[in-house]
Amino acid sequence: MGIKGTKMYRLQGNMKQIKAKIKIWNQEVFGNIFKEKKKLEEQLEHIHEEWIQGNINQKTVNKEKVLMQDWKLHCQ
């Protein structure tokens, strides 16, 4: 069912529908980048705190590398 009214009214209605669909698409494709950035930074902070305490092992070194790559990919 289409929007009825003047050409300008129909255009405005169509633009509102497109805006709503773009918002949904944006959340599905990109998600909330601010939440993702914060999550990655918290994980990196935890690893760095462990290192300060002297708890360094290859597993955490590898995890830090992966997290840094993700951070660079998503947050810069």
| Residue 17 sits in the same domain as residue 49 | no
The pLDDT assigned to 76 comes to 66
| Residue 48 sits in the same domain as residue 65 | yes
Each residue of 11-64: pLDDT tens digit? 999 999 999 999 998 888 777 788 888 899 999 999 999 989 998 889 989 999
| Residue 70 sits in the same domain as residue 40 | yes
Range of the domain at 12: 1-31
| Number of domains making up the chain | 2
- Angle of helix 58-75 relative to helix 33-52, nearest 10 degrees, comes to 150
The pLDDT assigned to 1 comes to 55
Rounded distance, CA 69 to CA 76, Å?
Answer: 11
Rounded distance, CA 46 to CA 58, Å?
Answer: 15
Rounded distance, CA 44 to CA 40, Å?
Answer: 6
The pLDDT assigned to 6 comes to 92
Q: Name the pTM for this structure.
A: 0.58
3-state SS of the chain: helix, strand, coil percent to 5?
A: 80, 0, 20
